[in-house]
Structures are given as C-alpha cells and as structure tokens.
Amino acid sequence: MKLILFITLFSFIHETFFIKLKKLFVQRFWRDLFDFFLCCCFCFCRDKSRLVPTKTKTIWNQKSFLFPIFESIIKIILTQIVHIINPVKVSETSDLFFAQPITFESLRKAKDFSTKKEQITLVTTSFEEDHEIIPSDFQKLSYLSRSVLDVNSSLKGKKLPLIADILAKTKEVNRCDFVLYTNMDIAVMPQFYDALFAYIEQGHDAVIINRRRIETTYKTVNKLPLMYSDLGKSHPGFDCFLFKRELLEKLILDEICIGIPFLEVSLIHNLFSFAEKPLFVPDAHLTFHLGMDVMPPINKDFYWHNRSTFFKKINPKLKDKYALSKFPYAELSLPNRAVKW
C-alpha cells in the first residue's frame, strides 16, 4: 500500500512539476535565443554603425539567463578596429620615401593574415596634396584642413597635422569600436591584428605597443619576409596606440602635432588617465621601424611648441586623473622609473 502511494505521489509530482519545468526551460531557451536574434536584427537595422552589447541591453530582456553568454560572444565577434594612418608625399631623400610603401604592404598582409579580417578597416587622412600616394585599397577619409602652422604662426617649415584632427576623422567611419593609430614609419607583423584582438578579449580598453628597430638595409617591399625574420632591438618610444572609441571624446590633445616629441607623451598620459584597464606592451615582436636610432634629430621650434602645449595646456587638465599604477614602469623603483620615463 505504501509503495503504491509513493508511486502515485511521485508520478503526480513528476507530471505537474518536473515535466513542466523541463518544458518551461526548453521554451525559455528557444524564446530567449529567438528574441536575441530579433534584437540583433533590430539593432543593426536601426543603427548600422554599431551592433554592440550596450545597445542590446536596452532592448533585450536583461533578466534572461542567456544574456551574459551572448553578450560576451557579441563583444568578441563584432568588435571593429579602425586603423588610421596619415600618409604624406615626400621626396626621395626622406626616410618615409622607403618606409611608407613597406608600411602600406605590411598592413595589407596583416589584415589578410588575420582571422578577423572583416573586423578591420584600414583608413587614411591627409592633406589634399598628399592624396595621390594613397593606395586605392585604403579607405580615404576627408582631407585635413589645418596644420600646426595654422595654430602657431611663429613656426616655419613642415606642415605637420594635429593628432586631434587625425583621430577625429575616425568618426566618419560607420562602424568603429576601437581606434588604432600608428606612425607612417611603423610596419607591422602578420600576427599584429590578431594580437590586438586578443588584448581586447582580455578586457583592455587601451593598448600601447613599443616598436622594434631593424637596420635600414631593407628598403623594398619584397624584403618584408626578411624584415619579419629580423628580431632587431627594442625601442623605448611609443608609436602604436589602440583605444576604445568612447575614449576619443575624453582625450585632451589641444594643438599637439605629429612627428615631434611629446606627441607620444600626450597620448600616453591621456590614455592611462581615462582608460579603465590600459596595457603597455614594451617588447613584443609586433611592430618594427627601419633605423636603429633611438633619438633622431629634432626641430627645436616644433619641439618647444609640443612641449609647451603639453605642460601648459594638457597636463594641468589631466594631473588630477593620474593613477601611478596604470602608467608604464609603475612597478619599478623611483630611480628606475625616472630613467625609463
């Protein structure tokens, strides 16, 4: 009799609870999956420029148990890097005459090599007179309209662009989650972009990579395999900057021009002030530069323009945001930090 009652009770509980619970779970899984798909379609149609988890959160039911899983997947799958460079037409006596074609080709090869090539956009901005040297397979953004000569009438000579103007051009690109800026004399290794995506997947919202330097004996594109194979030597300078698109609105760059010291100092202090989880990569084999010089000759007038701009206009606005723990070489002792900095 007790056995019969137990079987009857178990059958009742199984029918009314476990089967319904299983059915509800299955229905909820497919409902959430379908809702998520519709949400993604809606986001994409509504705003083709971005299909990101933050927007998905406002539309999809955040209480869904599947949401954290799909949110992580979206971040990895759909992250878009916009790599902007500033080509310039130069004479055959300039180092850039040999360096720029190598840079262009190395970017092409790195994008083709990447497992996420559809998430990489190569773009350029330049003055109108430099337009003709830009390869057709690079997306050309609008022309730059001013240079450092326009903001400082005491300067004479090179028409150097302002870094703020260059970075602002990335707003013309429809889909952009991370902005990447490198100097025109910086070539990259084939695994370069995949390494950046790996850093992003680790949660970093800003990455600064130091280059390696190799001999100037390589001067043609067909020597790229040899350049890749040359480990070269490390370099203390900063010339590769990746950061989250949202940080662009916070950067305080004023009238800093490119190609002159304190460009790097200004970008570093901004990124390590505003980024939540910045990363400094001092010695990876990801980028390289033709030439072994550590401190090349500089134009003193342009140098003092950038230096005074940083210390008088940028640093005062940033200094209350400095967190030593975020900055490069923070783990070193004070004397060693002073040497590195």
Sequential pLDDT tens for the chain (341 residues):
655 665 555 555 555 555 555 555 555 555 555 556 555 554 444 344 344 444 444 444 454 555 555 555 555 567 999 999 999 999 999 999 999 999 999 999 999 999 999 999 999 999 999 999 999 999 999 999 999 999 999 999 999 999 999 999 999 999 999 999 999 999 999 999 999 999 999 999 999 999 899 999 998 999 999 999 999 988 877 889 999 999 999 999 999 999 999 999 999 999 999 999 999 998 899 999 998 776 777 889 999 999 999 999 999 999 998 877 666 666 666 565 555 55
pLDDT of residue 110: 98
Is 36:70 a contact under the CB 8 Å cutoff?
yes
Pick the closest to residue 217 from 285, 292, 286 (CA basis). Answer: 292
DSSP state of 241: E
Tokens, residue 50: 């971005």
Distance CA 88, CA 96 (A): 8
Distance CA 216, CA 245 (A): 35
Torsion angle, alpha carbons of 42, 114, 243, 80, to 10 = -10
Buried b (16+ CB within 10 A) or exposed e, 273-307: bbbeebbbbeeebbbbbbeeeeeeeebeebebbbb
Tokens, residue 247: 């940080």
Residues 6+ apart with CB under 8 A from 39: 56, 59, 60
Residue 51 CB neighbours (<10 A): 21
pLDDT of residue 45: 43
pLDDT of residue 230: 94
